[in-house]
Structure 1
Amino acid sequence: MTTLRHTDARADTTTGLLLGCGVLAGPLYLVTGFAQAFTREGFDLTRHPFSFLSLGEGGWLQIANFVLCGLLFLAAAIGLRRTGGVGSAVPVLIGLFAVGMIGGGVFVADPAFGFPAGAPEGQPAELSWHGVLHGVAFFAAFPALVAAFFVLARKLTGPWARASAAAGVLSLAPMPFMGTEVGTVLLYGAATVAWLWVSAVLAKLRSES
């Protein structure tokens, strides 16, 4: 019995560490991204998404931000699978989101909208293969995270359920405006809500595991 208790304790500790990776990932991604956005010359939050920070001198930092935070969320997805408390769909969706983040770092966006210096003032005339894959990574990752919020709204109870549904709705707000300055600003708001909320939910589940 003592050995069994020790084994269970180690399993609980490992699960807690995995979930803790996701708790850290959301704030880390946002703090690192906004710190660069306010310090990189020529970067404009009304025109340029975080993806553009991967370009030009110093772009390695945002690439690392994507990949590291993606790996942390992937660890959290494994932790969610181990807990079993939110069903089987949420770990898969968070895992897909994590893989998309990693892909967003590995495959960089194409220079556009004047960033970095010398880039076309609008969209590039032709997309590169890595620019296409970057877009695929985004359109796989973000919808998966939003879907996870709506599933969590059914799995959680009380204010947590309602807040998860609200986070899902707010995350969808930029979609009709994509490609415009309004859409870019709304996307930052949606990303802030989404990344912080998923970390908050993981913190709750970690405290209960």
Structure 2
Amino acid sequence: MTLEDKMTAGKTSLTRNLLMAGVVAGPLYVALGLFQMAIRPTFDITRHPLSIMSNGDLGWIQVMNFTVTGILTILGAIGIRRLIHPGRAGTSGPILLGLYGFGLVAAAIFPADPMLGFPPGTPADAMEISTTGILHFVAGAVGFLSFIAGCFVFARRFFNQDERGWGIYSVATGVIFLGAFAGIASGGGNPLFNVAFAIAVVVAWAWISALCLKFRREVHPDR
């Protein structure tokens, strides 16, 4: 094998590994979320956002969840970007996906405030927001809006390439997440909105993992 062949193989392997990081991110986030619900019975998905699990004695698990899956998402976005040539439709998609990953990491750095009786010892009516809590919401908003925009950017790229199924899937994911985010952002603590947002998060992660897996299967030896 020549040096050029070895370099090409190395680039191919790197791209595939980056994309595999993106594939793993979704299942890992959801699995750790479900695991925490099982070991922290005072958490109520109809009242509490998953992000408040960053508080309490076991808060390090959710902090790790945000950090690791955020980094994996960024790596997956880099892998996709390596496959999209400059000037082609959808080159901003990986950037928006990467911003979502950065939003997750920022959410770990600036954790949400304890609220509504969680973790144990927090007043049942607690709704105070600290500076750190505000920064958490900002990080979340930037990440979520970037994700939504990314869905539509990728959808445009897929439609332009006559991949109608993937285009529809991407649009549907963006619309579902946008609707759920609008509901949760409207406030009021409606249990239906809280559950709908949790479901939308799972839908979003499924799309990210599927997207990275799709691109991984398209890796050619010269990538």
What range is the shorter-chain TM-score in?
over 0.9
CA contact (8 A) 1:37 1:53 kept: no
1:205 has 2:215 as partner: yes
Partner of 1:153: 155
CA RMSD of aligned residues (A): 1.5
Partner of 1:163: 169
Q: Percent identity?
A: 39
**Alignment partner of 1:38: what SS?**
helix
The one-letter code of the counterpart of 2:164 is G
1-structure distance, mates of 2:41, 2:164:
45
The one-letter code of the counterpart of 1:13 is S
CA contact (8 A) 1:112 1:124 kept: yes
CA contact (8 A) 2:51 2:112 kept: yes
1-structure distance, mates of 2:82, 2:182:
37
1-structure distance, mates of 2:97, 2:183:
25
Partner of 1:143: 145
What TM-score does the superposition give when structure 1 sets the normalisation length?
Answer: 0.94
Runs (4+) off by over 3 Å:
none
The one-letter code of the counterpart of 1:154 is R
The one-letter code of the counterpart of 2:60 is W
Offset of residue 3 of structure 1: 2.5
Spell out, residue by residue over 1:99-121, the C-alpha distance to the aligned partner (whole angstroms, 9 max, x if none).
00001111111111111112232
Partner of 2:57: 57
1:110 to 95, 109, 113: 113
1:96 to 87, 92, 99: 99
Offset of residue 37 of structure 1: 1.4
| TM-aligned CA distance change 1:175 to 1:87, over 3 Å | closer
| TM-aligned CA distance change 1:175 to 1:77, over 3 Å | closer
Spell out, residue by residue over 1:51-81, the C-alpha distance to the aligned partner (whole angstroms, 9 max, x if none).
0111111110110010000011111121122
Q: Specify every segment of 5 or more residues in structure 2 that has no aligned partner in the other structure, as ranges.
A: none
Spell out, residue by residue over 1:120-164, the C-alpha distance to the aligned partner (whole angstroms, 9 max, x if none).
323523x21211111111001111111111111111212111111
Q: Specify every segment of 5 or more residues in structure 1 that has no aligned partner in the other structure, as ranges.
A: none
1:185 to 185, 189, 195: 195
Offset of residue 87 of structure 1: 3.5
1-structure distance, mates of 2:53, 2:37:
7
CA contact (8 A) 1:66 1:105 kept: yes
2-structure distance, mates of 1:135, 1:176:
14
